[in-house]
Amino acid sequence: MAEMGSKGVTAGKIASNVQKKLTRAQEKVLQKLGKADETKDEQFEQCVQNFNKQLTEGTRLQKDLRTYLASVKAMHEASKKLNECLQEVYEPDWPGRDEANKIAENNDLLWMDYHQKLVDQALLTMDTYLGQFPDIKSRIAKRGRKLVDYDSARHHYESLQTAKKKDEAKIAKPVSLLEKAAPQWCQGKLQAHLVAQTNLLRNQAEEELIKAQKVFEEMNVDLQEELPSLWNSRVGFYVNTFQSIAGLEENFHKEMSKLNQNLNDVLVGLEKQHGSNTFTVKAQPSDNAPAKGNKSPSPPDGSPAATPEIRVNHEPEPAGGATPGATPGATLPKSPSQSSLPAVVVETFPATVNGTVEGGSGAGRLDLPPGFMFKVQAQHDYTATDTDELQLKAGDVVLVIPFQNPEEQDEGWLMGVKESDWNQHKELEKCRGVFPENFTERVP
């Protein structure tokens, strides 16, 4: 029995909810058609507009903050990989290896601490702030439904009040078959019954109106107090959030600056200790070139009879730009970041082909520019970006010559003159220029 009673209550509640939805839908249609007036509250509508604006701004701030945190995480990973690379290339016998490793560890810890504090002091606060909006939004929607119920009850009661006189007239003049067939003495009772029934409907309508009005006004009063307070709270929240982010970022960069300065000091120490060392690098003989000292008068493939020896010397270059006792060579370029390092000189010994010296100063080769060293061919087009650069097309042959001032040579750049220009003009001043070495390939 209890189960059946429970089901009956549930079924009755469902039927009541369905009836409410139908009544609200009918009321909204009448309001849209202008056949029923709608209760308006301009002050509350302004509060709702502010609420929606505040919710939109807060949601955007939360999204951008999460994007910022993702960027911090990505920078942390990139910084970590960069430090791992430094640890791998830092050789065991170099000074400051332990200090560099410790700096890398502290760098990693600093990134993790920064990210975690951003989560605790900004993101979690942001989530708490936005957590109050769904409940208020739901209550605003519910208030709207209760307002429709109130308007519907009001219109129903007003319609009964308007029809009161018509109903009384119908009661005074019986029109139903039952009334006409009833004896005279019974018609009075029927009239009394109809009057009582009409009064009952009006009383029920009035009770529903009072109940709907009470429910609506209770919700309306609460929201009228909360929405302005929530709107004003946004200022303090935004201030606290951005102050936290700014403060955390400032402290992070201060600590990171100290670590970077420490790493710079370690690398300066490494540069000072290894800056004066001298070592020799010898090229390995190729398969089609004879070993050094076994000179062949006529190599079958026309390749040089001996592989040039390359010496890398960190000592300052003697006056005149050449090492005593050796054929003048080209000075390797120095990048801007290596301006404090000693000059690195690559000395090459000329190879011989059929007893004739190739390269060198160009002696005996009157058809080549003075100081000619070797030829290269452009593999790609290169567009000059300055007046001292050569414009190259794929296939152009360039005669490479040394820089007048070796200190002006940048890493990866060569000085030369296009063979076509030299054959036509024979003027170095007008034809020579620099070009990127990686756009060319050396040719015999």
Domain ranges of the chain: 16-274, 278-291+299-358, 361-444
Nearest to 306 by CA among 359, 256, 234, 376: 359
Alpha-carbon distance of 212 to 235, in angstroms, equals 37
Q: What local confidence, expressed as pLDDT, does residue 164 receive?
A: 63
80 contacts 134 by C-beta, under 8 angstroms: no
Q: Where are the beta strands (DSSP E) in 290-350?
A: 311-313, 345-347
Q: What local confidence, expressed as pLDDT, does residue 32 receive?
A: 75
Alpha-carbon distance of 398 to 392, in angstroms, equals 9
**Average pLDDT, consecutive stretches of 10 residues, N- to C-terminus, the chain (444 residues):** 52 70 75 74 92 95 95 96 94 92 96 96 93 93 88 82 62 52 56 64 82 87 92 94 96 96 94 67 44 39 42 44 42 41 42 40 62 93 89 94 89 93 87 93 90
User: What's this model's pTM, rounded to 2 decimal places?
Assistant: 0.51
The CATH classification number of 16-274 equals 1.20.1270.60
Q: What local confidence, expressed as pLDDT, does residue 181 receive?
A: 55
Q: What local confidence, expressed as pLDDT, does residue 444 receive?
A: 82
- Which class would CATH give 361-444? mainly beta
Alpha-carbon distance of 351 to 277, in angstroms, equals 28
What are the structure tokens assigned to 348, written together?
Answer: 């090459």
Q: Supply the angle between the helices 133-162 and 164-172 in degrees, to the nearest 10.
A: 40
Alpha-carbon distance of 384 to 250, in angstroms, equals 44
